[in-house]
Structures are given as C-alpha cells and as structure tokens.
C-alpha cells in the first residue's frame, strides 16, 4: 500500500517534484564527480567542465568517467529517490519486482533486433529535414550541435581492443539503458499516463521527452519511436526489466558495430542497414516481424498471468 502524500493521484505534483529532485541530484553528483576526477586525471575542474574537453585525446578517459558518473546522477539515483517519495516501496513502484518469463524476454529480443532497419530508415529520413530559410539560425545550431555530438561519439567510441569495447558497452549501453528506463519509463511515463488518463498519450509524451532530452535533432524521430516501443513493452509486461533489456541490446549493437567497423572487420555500410534502397525489402520484412511480435506481446499481456522466476 502506497502511503506517500505524492502518490499517483497527484501527477502534476509528481512531475514538479521529479524536475526538482532530478535537477538537484544531478548538480550535486556532477560536481562531486569533477572533484573526484580532478586528482585522478590531473585536470582542473574548469577543464573538466569545458565543452572542449575532447579536443585533447588524452582527456577521453576523463570524459568517460564523467559520463558514467553523470548517467548515474541524472537517471539512476533520482529514480530511486522519487520511487521512495511517491510510494512506500521504490522497487515495486519502478516495476522492478516482476521477473518476466522466457517468452517475453525472447519476444523483446526479436522486436528490437528486427526494428533496427526501420529505425535506421527513419533516422535517414530525419537527417533530410531542413528548416525554412527564416529559421536558418536554428538550422545552423542544429547542424553545429549534431557535428559536435558526432565528434564526441567518434572520440568516445574510438577503441581498438576488447577491454575498450567492454568499457564502452558498460558506459554507453548498460548504464544508460538502466538509468534512462528508470526515469523515462519508470517515473515519467507513469506520471503522464496518470496525468492524461490515457496509456497511449502517456507513452507518447514520455517518449517525446526522452528523445528531446538527448539534444540530437537528426536522431529525434527514430529515438522517439524507440521510446514508444519501450513504453509499450513496459505496459504489456508490467516489468521494467524488459524495456531495460531491449534498450541495452539496441545500444550494445551500436557499440559493437562501431567497434567492428573501426577494427576493419565490417565495412561502414553495416551501420546503415535499412537506411538505403538496397536493403528496403529486408527492412519491410523485419518491420513486419517486429510488429507481429509486438502484437504477440500485447496478446500475452491480456491472456496470461505473470509469474515470478
């Protein structure tokens, strides 16, 4: 039984508290991460906070340390604090107390693997969008931030050994998958479903914020679709572990493919599957399979009992 004064009957209050808690915790822990990193990497706090930190290759490890700490500060810690504020049991509130059966894990894996081509196709279409001439200032900002984002990712992902790959999988794939699902699906989606009194609108709005939060316009619509998929996975399995798993697989594949391209095992086209006309038939088939598995997952949510394993 939830005894909090800010339970699901007060979604507006919950949203306000979420913003305040996430902001305060992120600021405090981000500053703490810089204080810790400064003597470890021999850099001043000013240099660690600089947007040009990746201009020097030797700063990549410091950047990775900060990214790991900030992911935990932005998403993981606030989510558990909020879960405790909003209920008497944060694990149950965040839907981490249910272990789905093997069928649901398998369906989630197939869904995310077969969705990748259409996700890439949407990202390619997204990249073609240009704003009208009177919004040229905004367009320049989008282009510059996109270029900076790509430069940062190239520096971050540029590893040539399995140790570096494992570190990137942990920082880029695992921690964000857990943290982002805790906050955007475990907290915000629940708030917006209660606020709008509509599951679909709650999922759409939370996923919109999820995509917008990444501040990367050219991946906005593909990331929004991913968020919607993760949202329905949560609703239809009643377990946050399923969208966490699917999110991790999506991130991990991107990290692994980037690594294999970098070490010349794959060519660059491997990262573009679905984004060109040559693979359109494959994209269509994969989309049908992914949609069918989503339907199966939905049907199981209506006809089966969830059990602990």
Instruction: Specify whether the CB–CB gap between 273 and 279 falls below 8 A.
Output: yes
This prediction's pTM: 0.91
> 11-41 and 60-71 are packed helices; what angle lies between their axes, rounded to 10 degrees?
150
pLDDT of residue 187: 96
- Buried b or exposed e, range 53-75, using 16+ CB within 10 angstroms: bbeeeebbebbbbbbbbbbbbbb
Instruction: Specify whether the CB–CB gap between 179 and 71 falls below 8 A.
Output: yes
Instruction: Specify whether the CB–CB gap between 233 and 246 falls below 8 A.
Output: yes
> What is the rounded distance in angstroms from the CA atom of residue 104 to the CA atom of residue 29?
35
Q: How many residues belong to the chain? A: 309
pLDDT of residue 9: 78
- Shortest CA distance to 219 belongs to which of 291, 149, 296, 308? 149
Whose tokens are 């939830």? That residue is 2
Which residues have a Cβ under 8 Å from the Cβ of 209 and sit 6 or more positions away? 184, 188
> Distances in Å between the alpha carbon of 22 and those of 57, 70, 88, 173, 262?
31, 11, 19, 21, 36
CA 191 to centroid of chain Cα atoms? 18
> What is the rounded distance in angstroms from the CA atom of residue 167 to the CA atom of residue 174?
10
> What is the rounded distance in angstroms from the CA atom of residue 8 to the CA atom of residue 22?
18
- Helix count and strand count (H, E) for the chain: 14, 0
> What is the rounded distance in angstroms from the CA atom of residue 151 to the CA atom of residue 211?
20
> Distances in Å between the alpha carbon of 15 and those of 12, 65, 195, 214?
5, 30, 9, 19
pLDDT of residue 13: 92
> What is the rounded distance in angstroms from the CA atom of residue 186 to the CA atom of residue 180?
9
Q: What are 79's two structure tokens? A: 């989510």
Please calculate the CA angle 100-105-110 and round it to the nearest 5 degrees: 155
pLDDT in tens, 18-50: 999 999 999 999 999 999 988 988 888 888 887
pLDDT in tens, 41-74: 888 888 888 777 766 767 888 888 988 998 999 9
Instruction: Specify whether the CB–CB gap between 169 and 252 falls below 8 A.
Output: yes
Q: Which stretches of the chain score pLDDT less than 70? A: 1-5, 54-55, 57, 270-271, 274-278, 304-309
pLDDT in tens, 150-181: 777 777 788 888 999 999 999 999 999 999 99
CA 192 to centroid of chain Cα atoms? 18
The total of other beta-carbon atoms located within 10 Å of residue 201's CB is 13
Whose tokens are 């491997």? That residue is 270
């Amino acid at each position: 039984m939830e005894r909090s004064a800010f339970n699901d009957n007060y979604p507006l209050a919950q949203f306000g508290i979420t913003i305040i808690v996430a902001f305060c915790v992120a600021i405090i822990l981000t500053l703490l991460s810089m204080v810790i990193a400064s003597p470890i990497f021999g850099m001043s706090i000013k240099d660690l906070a600089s947007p040009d930190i990746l201009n020097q290759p030797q700063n990549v490890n410091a950047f990775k340390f900060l990214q790991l700490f900030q992911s935990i500060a932005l998403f993981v810690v606030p989510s558990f604090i909020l879960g405790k504020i909003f209920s008497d049991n944060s694990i149950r509130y965040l839907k981490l107390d249910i272990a789905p059966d093997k069928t649901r894990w398998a369906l989630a894996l197939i869904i995310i693997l077969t969705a990748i081509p259409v996700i890439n196709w949407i990202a390619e279409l997204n990249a073609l969008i240009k704003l009208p001439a009177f919004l040229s200032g905004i367009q320049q900002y989008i282009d510059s931030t996109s270029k900076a984002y790509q430069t940062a990712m190239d520096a971050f992902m540029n590893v040539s050994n399995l140790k570096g790959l494992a570190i990137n999988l942990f920082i880029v794939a695992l921690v964000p998958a857990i943290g982002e699902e805790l906050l955007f699906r475990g907290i915000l989606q629940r708030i917006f479903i209660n606020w709008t009194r509509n599951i679909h609108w709650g999922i759409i709005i939370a996923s919109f914020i999820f995509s917008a939060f990444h501040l990367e316009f050219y991946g906005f619509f593909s990331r929004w679709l991913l968020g919607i998929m993760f949202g329905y996975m949560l609703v239809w399995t009643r377990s946050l572990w399923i969208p966490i798993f699917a999110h991790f697989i999506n991130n991990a594949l991107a990290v692994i493919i980037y690594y294999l391209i970098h070490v010349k095992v794959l060519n660059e086209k491997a990262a573009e599957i679905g984004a060109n006309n040559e693979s359109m038939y494959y994209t269509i088939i994969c989309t049908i399979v992914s949609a069918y598995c989503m339907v199966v997952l939905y049907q199981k949510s209506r006809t089966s009992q969830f059990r602990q394993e």
